[in-house]
Amino acid sequence: MCGIVGYIGKKQAVPILLDGLKRLEYRGYDSAGISVIANGKMVTTKATGKVVELENKIGSKRIEANIGIAHTRWATHGKPCDKNSHPHGDCSGDIALVHNGIIENYLELKNQLQQKGHKFSSETDSEVVAHLIEEFSKKNDFREAVLESLKLIKGTYGLAILNKKYPSQMIVARLGSPLILGVGKDEVIVASDASAIVQYTDKVVYLEDGEVAIINTEGYEVITSKNKQIEKKVSTLDWNMEQAQKNGFAHFMLKETFEQPETIKNAMRGRLSKEDGMAKLGGLRDVEDKLKKINRIIIVSCGTSYNAGLIGEYMIEEYAGIPVEVEYASEFRYRKPLLDSKTAVIAISQSGETADTLAAIREAKNKGALTLGIINTVSSTIARETDAGVYNHAGPEIGVASTKAFTSQLTILALLAVFLGRQRDMSLVTGQRIISELEKIPNQIEKILEKHKEIKKIAKKYVGFSDFLYMGRKYNFPIALEGALKIKEISYVHAEGYATGEMKHGPIALIDASFPSLFIVPKDSVYDKNVSGMQEIKARSGKILAIATKGDTEISKHADDVIYIPKTLEMLTPLLSVIPLQLLAYYVGVYRGFDVDKPRNLAKSVTVE
């Protein structure tokens, strides 16, 4: 995700800002930029690529400035290039700002501003804020102009803003995108992430949503968006650099697991049209007509992304009525797939660089199929080579085991099922129902995450077992595969994922008191069938851990331990049932003493065959 740094004080701003950007590098990004006010002039430098490119561009130019803002960008609107990099400015060149988040109504605001004569120089949503401030500055001072602009913005933001006419003032604002003020002696360092602050000061002020800070060399004032002053507590950071990057979590995997309520919101943001029960998928606009005509879908992917694809198959077949096949990309690329222009081949990939998935997409393209991507990494190779696609917006995933990318893939697949369904015969009411249940998912995940201590205790109970059978049916069969994959890769425990109905065709032979089973058994259309499977295991003295729906009072009769999840639509249960399995794998791995962020033999992005 994007990173923000700002400096105001007595020291030279440029080296501090560049250093701050480098400390945010772990988040991943595609371009960087910096603006400082030097001798009354706004000096802006931008570069595509790493911070070192920006540093080289600035080179030995001595830019004397004590105030500045800087940004690393993870592209959302507009491809990575110098003009789309932050900071963005207004027409006059007085304003410069950096922005994290998404301005949902930017097109509407941009149109209004263009009618008033504003000239835009980037494709980003962020630039609109600079022009809005310019517009309001005609009749207001800097502070008022910012506050008036914020009133018009819909979406999320972490903003740091400079105005050449106010050379010793910086204004920052937060709504849904973190901002921290590091309070030093005669200086304030602003950052989206404590890792850019810890080396300068341990005194910090956390801005909350709806708060704005007016910062100058003497100090800072925090106000509400209605210009009411707020007393803020100064906290003490007791994190080192690495802990700061993990936001206080012991591992990136745990941090990313806990980020899921937010990343799912990001995957949905601006894409739900409740009134017409439709998903708005801007990345598919150019191929909308082709999608109306397709009569077959093939999903190609690997690992966790493959498991997401299997759930997509159930969703799309049930709600859009289009036949779907899901294939390992590594298999698809070497066989003779029968494709035509009425087939859409969808690649699902977090990295967008997985060699097999890329090769599969190239093969599909050669054969004349429409190619689409569900990709997290903006402008990655697969994102560039597919005809159209939908980005996850989950931010960089650093833990090798995929967690937040998986649930954002599921969110997009649900949106795609609505989109394709509504293009066909899905009723308005069904579309609306799915959307309103989807909107509840982030809160429901919060509820599951609150149980992390309980799940940790259960993990301790099961840590001694060296084999597991994970089982589920229908929408939760792929979750059995995903849960087994997670515990395998993180904890090096042998685990197999199976469809409950298949158990009696072989794996049941393995079961005895030393071989536990995990059943994903929500109250859904296959509940009774799953319970029969549990009884068969119990009859063979197998231990059972169940993931069940809250309020199911029967299930504890068949299981030794139960983790409850909230009730949702059957198609959306995987978004909830996978959370305890991620935590279980994590805690078992930690108890067994492994480095869960870097499991042995695995790479985050598999760019070789």
Binding site for ligand F6R (CB under 6 A): 302-305, 349-351, 354, 357, 401-402, 485, 489, 605-606
Q: Would you say 271 and 280 are in contact if contact means Cβ atoms under 8 Å apart?
A: yes
Beta-bridged to residue 494, according to DSSP, are 467
Q: Between 383 and 563, whose beta carbon lies closer to ligand F6R?
A: 383
CA distance 216 to 311: 52
Q: Between 478 and 542, whose beta carbon lies closer to ligand F6R?
A: 478
Cα-Cα-Cα-Cα torsion 446, 420, 272, 393, nearest 10 degrees, comes to 60
With 0-12 / 13-18 / 19 or more C-beta atoms within 10 angstroms meaning exposed / middle / buried, residue 62 is exposed
The minimum distance between CB 408 and ligand F6R, in angstroms, equals: 11
Q: Between 401 and 563, whose beta carbon lies closer to ligand F6R?
A: 401
Q: Where are the alpha helices (DSSP H) in 395-464?
A: 404-423, 428-449, 452-462
Beta strands in 427-538 (DSSP E): 467-472, 494-499, 517-521
Nearest residue to 241 via CA among 498, 563, 560, 25: 25
Q: What is the DSSP string of 280-328?
A: --GGGGGGHHHHHH--EEEEEE-HHHHHHHHHHHHHHHHHH---EEEEE
CA distance 212 to 284: 36
The minimum distance between CB 100 and ligand F6R, in angstroms, equals: 23
CA distance 417 to 588: 35
Helix, strand, coil percentages for the chain (3-state, nearest 5): 40, 25, 35
The minimum distance between CB 303 and ligand F6R, in angstroms, equals: 2
Q: β-pairing, 41-48 with 95-100?
A: unpaired
The minimum distance between CB 382 and ligand F6R, in angstroms, equals: 8
- Closest residue to ligand F6R, judged by C-beta, is 303
The minimum distance between CB 97 and ligand F6R, in angstroms, equals: 33
Q: Between 89 and 389, whose beta carbon lies closer to ligand F6R?
A: 389
The minimum distance between CB 579 and ligand F6R, in angstroms, equals: 15
Residues annotated as catalytic are 2, 604
CA distance 326 to 368: 18
494-503: b (≥16 Cβ within 10 Å) or e: ebbbbbbbeb
Q: Between 149 and 260, whose beta carbon lies closer to ligand F6R?
A: 260
The minimum distance between CB 34 and ligand F6R, in angstroms, equals: 31
Q: Between 169 and 304, whose beta carbon lies closer to ligand F6R?
A: 304
Q: Between 44 and 392, whose beta carbon lies closer to ligand F6R?
A: 392
- What is the DSSP code (8-state) at residue 421? H
Residue 602 parent element (H or E): none
Tokens of 25: 């590098």
The minimum distance between CB 378 and ligand F6R, in angstroms, equals: 13
Tokens of 278: 């439709």
Collapsing DSSP to helix, strand or coil, 10 comes out as coil
Q: Between 153 and 253, whose beta carbon lies closer to ligand F6R?
A: 253
Locus of tokens 């690393």? 72
